[in-house]
Amino acid sequence: MYRLWLWLFCGIICWEKGTAQAPFPENVHRIVFLGNSITYAGKYIVDIETYFITHYPERHYEFINIGLPSETVSGLSEPGHAGGKFPRPDLHERLARVLALTKPDLVFAGYAMNDGIYMPFDEGRFLRFREGILWLHQEVVRTGALFIHMTPAVYDERNGGHIGYANVMDRYSTWLLQQRDSLGWRVADIYFPMKRYLEDHRRMDSSFAFARDGVHPDSLGHWIMAREILRFLGEKPGEGDAMEVILGGKNRRIFGLVEEKQGLMKDAWLTAAGHKRPGMNEGLPLEEAKAREAEIGKRIRELNK
């Protein structure tokens, strides 16, 4: 136990100081992303992985997307969810299996969007969200992994239609950010930068939107998410679009190969860990998927020379 806490302390101190050659602590190699359908879509994870491949080619990081659509950390589900076909999956049901299978060195987790179940603010639902986040934090750090919370993507009431839900996300996001001071958590803010970007661009173009359904960001929205996470990690991505900033003139096939690899592996990891959400893709057996991942990785390294 003493060695574990010493490693965590040294890792966090070195991380906080940061160096141009060390975007993560030295012992961090396997990085897991937990979340709902926005994480499962995973374009922001593809952006982040491509950035590190092209900016830190001498380092190897494994980015694992194991987000599950519709999931909550609160365990709540609105009446008639998915047309009454199934309740929202609850992270409590699968987290232990996910952590045992993936053995992460670092976990990113992004919840809240579904946890208010698209209804007006309610103290009881808010309490369930806070309890779920505290439980998640404890379960992750108990494994020895480092943990970074993420505020949710912005909710667009004009397109989503749930009046007052943006205020719910304001409050949930604010609470998460407050834990940086009260509990010393590391919390990457996605929500408020996305909200400012949406408001600024909508003043110039009233039709501007990240999400046509108010929830699920397009490629630009995912890039804003990735950019804010990279900034939180101490990187300095520019203001251009994702391809311009990430690749900077490198072969654009790298991005496509990372996207192909992530698409293959997220279904394999989800299937291997198990879950209760119907309608998901059946992933390849994990070892078969890893073999294909290795082939794609070799092609990426050849292009990235």
Edge-first strand order for the sheet with 146-150 is: 62-65, 30-35, 106-110, 146-150, 187-188
Element holding 132 (H helix, E strand):
helix 123-142
Kindly state the DSSP code that residue 25 receives in the 8-state scheme. Answer: -
247: CB partners within 8 A, 6+ apart: 50, 54, 254, 255
Q: Which tens digits make up the pLDDT trace of 9-60?
A: 444 444 544 444 567 999 999 999 999 999 999 999 999 999 999 999 999 9
Are 34 and 101 contacting, i.e. CB atoms less than 8 angstroms apart?
no
Residue type, 255: F
Q: What is the pLDDT of residue 286?
A: 98
Structure tokens at 298: 């070799």
Distance CA 200, CA 195 (A): 9
CB neighbours of residue 178 within 10 Å: 12
The CATH number corresponding to 27-303 among 3.40.50.1110, 3.90.960.10, 1.10.3860.10, 3.20.20.70 equals 3.40.50.1110
Q: What is the pLDDT of residue 110?
A: 98
Q: Which tens digits make up the pLDDT trace of 124-164?
A: 999 999 999 999 999 999 999 999 999 999 999 999 999 99
- Domain ranges for the chain: 27-303
Distance CA 287, CA 144 (A): 25
What share of the chain in percent tops pLDDT 70? 93
